[in-house]
Amino acid sequence: MTNRSASSSLAAPDFRPPEPLPLNPLPEIGIWNVEALALLMYFYRDAFAGALRYYLSIVKLDALWFLPDLFAVMCILAFTQRYIITGRSLIAILTLLYIAFALYVGFVFLGYFAGMASSFKMIAPVFVGFCFCRRDFSQYKQLLALIHPIFFITIIGIFLSSRVQFPWVGFAYETLGATRQATRLWWTASEARLAGFAADSTMAAFFVFITFVFTSARKGMLWICIWAPVGLYAIKLTTSKTTLGVMIMYLVCLVIIRMLPERERFPMLRRMAALSFVSILVPVVLIVFFSGDGLTSISRGFFSLQDRVNNSWQLPFVYMQDLMPMGFVTGCGLGCFNYPQQLFSNKLSYYVPVDNFYIGTYLMFGPIFVIFMIFAIAAVMKTKDIYKLSATIAMNLFTITVLAYGPASGLIMIGASFSQMFAKRSAQDRDTLIAPPIAPGIDGLASRPA
C-alpha cells in the first residue's frame, strides 16, 4: 500500500471509511483470474458489439462471440466452490437453487428448449459479478487499467459515426435460430441515434457512462472537469436521454462528495449508495399519480416515459394473470417478459418489454426477490469498496427505465454491487479490524489508488 499526500486540491480523493484500517492490505489480484477475465471480455464484447459481430463473421470466427459466456459458466463453478462448498453461505446456496428453479419455471412458461438455453445465457453473467464477493476492485489494477480505454474508444466511435456510416450498420446474423442485426440505424425526430462501435445507441451511451464511473473514482477534479463534458456530449449524440440524465445526476453526486472534507467523503458515498435504492419506488409513484396521460399532458417530451407507466410497467402483470397466475407466487421464470420470450416463445403475442430492472426481475422470481433485496441492501451498507458503491448508485439510477439484462455488462455490475451478501464474517475478518485509528494522509483499504 502506497502512502501519498492529500494536500493537493487536485489529488484523487481519499474515500476512507471510518472503520479502523486492516493490519494487512489485501493482495493485488492479477488479470489471469476467472471473474476479472470474464468481466473484461463482456465489457469489450458489449462495448464494441456492432464491429465485433461484423468482423468475426467475415473471418468465420463467429464462435468466439460466445467466449465470454464460457467464462460466465466457469464463474458459476467458482461461485459454487467459493461461497457454497468452502464458504457454506446459506444465502449463496438458496440463490443458486432458486435460480435453477426459475430456469425450469421459465422453460414451462416459454415452451421451448431454445428459450431455456437463452435464459441460461441471460442469467449466467450475474455470477461474474457475484464472484467479486470479498474482493475490492482496487485489487484488480490490471483489470481497471484495461477498462479505462473503453471510455475513450467508445467516445471516438460515437464521434466517427456522426461523420460516416460504419459497414456493420444493418448487418444481420443468426444466433440460436433467431436472426438479429449487429447495428440498426435508428432515428429520433430528425436526429440519428449514433451507436459508434456498439450494437445500439443505448449501449454506446451506457459504456461512456459506466466506464466514466470506474475511471473517475480515482481521478482528480481536473480530469473530471475536462472529460465529463466530453462524455456528456458523446451521450447527447447517441440521443439516449436516460443515460444523459443519469450521467448528470451522477456528476452532481460526485461533486457533492468531492466538496466534503476527506474524512466525510466515504460515509457520504455509502449513504448515497443506500439512498439510491429509493429509485425502486419511482415506477410505483409514477403509476399511482401519472397513469393515463398524466405525463404527456404536461409535455409531449414525456411520451416515452408515459408509455412505460401505462404499458411497460403494468401490462406484464395483467398478462401473467392470463398466462400463469401461479407466477405471482413463484415468478414466471427466467426469460419471461425478457428477450428470451421475444425470441423463443409460444407466447409472443403476450410479450411486452419491461423497462425496469427491479420490476423485470420480480416478475421472473416472484416475492422471494424482495427477501433477496433486503440482504443485498444490507450488504451494500457494509461495503467498503468505492467502485462497488459507485456502481450501485450508477446502476440504480440507470435501471429506473432500463431492464439491463442484455447485453450482459449491466447485469454484471449489478451482481458485483450485491456480491458482498454472500460473505460470511470469519474470525480472521474480525482480527483484521484491530488496528490504530486512521492517520491523516494515509490511504486505507477503500482508498488505494487504482
C-alpha cell, 177: 435460430
Output the pTM of the full model: 0.86
What is the structure's pLDDT at 300? 77
What are the start-end ranges of the E strands in 262-326? none
Q: Is 239 left (phi over 0), alpha (psi -120 to 50) or beta?
A: left
Q: Among 2-16, 114-128, 338-352, 428-442, whose mean pLDDT is lowest?
A: 428-442
**Grid cell 412505460 — which residue?**
308
What are the start-end ranges of the E strands in 189-311? 191-193
Q: Do residues 247 and 406 make contact, with C-beta atoms less than 8 angstroms apart?
A: no
The alpha carbon dihedral of 45, 51, 53, 55 has a sign of: negative
Percent of the chain with pLDDT over 70: 84
List Cα–Cα distances, 357 to 111, 313, 319, 331, in angstroms: 24, 11, 18, 15
Of the candidates 437, 384, 387, the residue with the CA atom closest to the CA atom of residue 140 = 387
Work out the pLDDT band at 425, boundaries 50, 70, 90. Answer: low
Q: Do residues 388 and 417 make contact, with C-beta atoms less than 8 angstroms apart?
A: yes
Q: What is the mean pLDDT of the chain?
A: 85
User: Could you say which DSSP state residue 450 is in?
Assistant: -
The set of residues, in sequence order, having a beta carbon less than 8 Å from that of 86 and lying 6+ positions away, is none
The set of residues, in sequence order, having a beta carbon less than 8 Å from that of 11 and lying 6+ positions away, is 4, 5, 220
pLDDT in tens, 388-402: 999 999 999 999 999
pLDDT in tens, 282-336: 999 999 998 888 888 887 778 888 999 999 999 999 999 999 999 999 999 999 9
What is the structure's pLDDT at 76? 97
The set of residues, in sequence order, having a beta carbon less than 8 Å from that of 255 and lying 6+ positions away, is none
Q: Do residues 238 and 201 make contact, with C-beta atoms less than 8 angstroms apart?
A: yes
d(CA 208, CA 158): 10
Three-state SS for 174?
strand
Three-state SS for 287?
helix
Number of Cβ within a 10 Å radius of residue 210: 26
C-alpha cell, 88: 457454506
